[in-house]
Amino acid sequence: MNLLFSINDKFVAQLATVLLSIKLNTKQQEFNVYVLQKEKLQRAAELERICSRFNMHYHPVTVNDDLFSKAPVTDRYPTTIYYRLLAHELLPASLHKVLYLDADVLCVNDLTSLYNIPLDDYLYASAIHTNLTNTTDVINKIRLQNFDADGYYNSGVLLMNLDNIRKKVQAKDIFAYIRSHTLLLPDQDVLNALYGRDIKSVPDQLYNFDTRKGTIYETISFGEWTTDWVLKNTVILHYCGHDKPWLTDKNTGRYTALYKNYFQMTSRILNN
């Protein structure tokens, strides 16, 4: 199973927490962990040690900024926003499929069902976050002019069909789009605007559960998707938003204690 992340040194403990949650809940016993990084992580030894402990193979991918010499780069659009979009140019050509995950997720059930979703001719598989109304989707379609897309996909969990992506996704198209548009979430907006039609939709209640919206999930499912249901069925919890669960007393959501437990276990492993 090939996993992809993009972090700096501030997120080593969070990435290690994701890896622990995957190891504990996924039957697959061999993992390749690719980590995109602007420069070699100062805490690389810690990450290598924890990957070895979990029987995972750590593959650092240091990004050469020459790739972005023609990219529009500003304080709002740093080179790091391009890493996920151009991962196919940064990863080994021998790699055919990879699962990108943000560092603010937890895997609470077996990841295999997501990883094995057939991609066929699609470039990606991703989820559209659930809302009580479709107003946000309408606004995003008007804003991005992609009216035939199913909705606005969240790029924090992204299964990548690298063979097809290498044929269709071009750096010059991405750079040109960013130059000519004002974007709210730059990399996610580009993904939706240029490639939204080529994304296979997967259910967010299973593969990208927004932990801020537990009440909304329960409401739209007529009371089915309770916390107990989530813990039995949901594969990925996504701790979206600014109030992250590893920040003490900054998040009181129903899934915060679960994250803190994994984070504490990870901290003990790192410290030992």
Quick: pLDDT tens for 142-153.
444 554 545 789
Q: At 193, is the secondary structure helix, strand, or coil?
A: helix
The domain tally of the chain equals 1
Range of 210's domain? 2-271
Q: Cβ–Cβ contacts within 10 Å for residue 39, how many?
A: 10
Which CATH number does the domain housing residue 12 bear? 3.90.550.10
Nearest residue to 153 via CA among 121, 190, 118: 190
pTM over 0.85: yes
Which is nearest to 47 in space by CA: 8, 86, 80, 83? 8
- Contact criterion met (CB below 8 Å) for 60 and 90: no
Q: Tokens 């900024």 label which residue?
A: 65
Q: What is the pLDDT of residues 195-254, one digit of tens each?
A: 999 999 999 999 999 999 999 999 999 999 999 999 999 999 999 988 899 986 766 789
